Amino acid sequence: MSKQTLKVVKIGGNVINNEEALFSFLKDFSELEGPKILVHGGGRKATEVSSAMGLKPQMINGRRVTDAATVEVVTMVYAGLLNKKVTAKLQSLGCNAMGLSGADANCVLAHKRIVKDIDYGFAGDVDAINSEIIDVLLKNNVTPVFCAITHDKKGQLLNTNADTIASEVTIGMSKLYMTELNFVFELKGVLESIDDKNSVITEINSKKYEQLLKQGIIADGMIPKLHNCFNSLEKGVSKVKIGDVSLMKKSTKLYTTLSL
C-alpha cells in the first residue's frame, strides 16, 4: 500500500505582513487536497513589536539574538498574535486548523543552541519531531499550524528558525507519508538575477547548487534556506519547491524544484 502524500508549507513574514497576499495564499492553501501542515515565520512583526516596547532587536548574520526579554516578545508575536490570526483566517475558509508551538503536545523538541563563536541566546536547534501526535491530528482532518517557537522539555521556550522547523517536520513525517516541502516567500523562486524577478531557475540539483554558490548567484539568506531544502531531500523528503504565493495554485508553472 503506497503512502499518502503530505504537503508541508512554510510562509515567510513578508507574506504574513501583506493582508492581500496572505488571504490569497490561505485561500489556496485551504483548498489543497489531502493532509497538510503550515509553518509560519514573522520576524518583521516581532521587530516592530520589540521596537514599540523599547527593545532594540539585535541581529547577527541575519539571525535574531534572543535574550530573555526577546524570547517573551517573539512568543507573544509568533505563538500568539500571528499564529491565531492565521488559524482564525483558515477556519473562516473552511480549513479546520489548529495553531501550535513546538511545546504543544511536545510536537517539536529542541535544545538551546550551543555557543561556539556567537551566543544567539535562547535560540533553539531541533532535536526531534513527535510525528505520532501530529499524525493523530492529520488523521482527524485537523491542519496543524506551527509557529517558530519550540521548547527544551525543561520549561524553556526557544526561538527557532521557521525554515528549519518546516524542514524538520517534513523529515519527521516522511516515515509515515510521502512528504513534499514548499517554501513560499515574496519571490517566484530562486533567481538567476536578483534584478529580474522572472529569471527563475526552475530546477536545481545538488551539483548545480554547488555551482550557483561558487558563482555567487545563491547568496545571503538563500544559503540557509537551500541548505534546509537539500538536508530535507537527503533525509527522506520526496520533493521540495520554492516560489511565491501562487505556488499553491495547480496552474502555476514558474517556481524552483530541488532534487538531489
Which CATH number do you get for residue 121? 3.40.1160.10
Under 8 Å between Cβ of 163 and 128: no
Mean pLDDT of 199-221: 92
Grid coordinates belonging to 246: 501562487
- In the Cβ-directed half-sphere of 44, how many Cα atoms lie within 13 Å? 9
Residue-number span of the structural domain to which 172 is assigned: 5-259
Categorize the per-residue pLDDT at 55 as very low, low, confident or very high, splitting at 50, 70 and 90.
confident
Encode 124-150: b = buried (16+ Cβ within 10 Å), e = exposed. Answer: bbbeebbbeebbebbeeebbbbbbbbb
Whether residue 150 is predicted with pLDDT greater than 90 in this model: the reply is yes
Mean pLDDT of 155-178: 96
Comparing 24-38, 53-67, 159-173, 185-199, which segment has the lowest mean pLDDT? 53-67
Mean pLDDT of 60-66: 77
Mean pLDDT of 114-133: 94
Which residues, 6 or more positions from 44, have their beta carbon under 8 angstroms from its beta carbon? 13, 14, 16, 17
Q: How far apart are CA 129 and CA 83, in angstroms?
A: 19
Grid coordinates belonging to 215: 558563482
Whether residue 223 is predicted with pLDDT greater than 90 in this model: the reply is no
The torsion angles phi and psi of 101, rounded to 5 degrees, stand at -105, 175
Whether residue 2 is predicted with pLDDT greater than 80 in this model: the reply is no
pLDDT of residue 144: 98
Grid coordinates belonging to 109: 523538541
The torsion angles phi and psi of 16, rounded to 5 degrees, stand at -60, -35
> For residue 108, what are the CA distances in angstroms to 65, 162, 257?
20, 12, 27
Under 8 Å between Cβ of 200 and 258: no
Categorize the per-residue pLDDT at 126 as very low, low, confident or very high, splitting at 50, 70 and 90.
very high
Categorize the per-residue pLDDT at 169 as very low, low, confident or very high, splitting at 50, 70 and 90.
very high
pLDDT of residue 1: 59
pLDDT of residue 32: 96
pTM of the model: 0.94
Whether residue 45 is predicted with pLDDT greater than 80 in this model: the reply is yes
Side chain identity, residue 58? Q
What's the whole-number average pLDDT of the chain?
93
Say how many domains are in the chain.
1
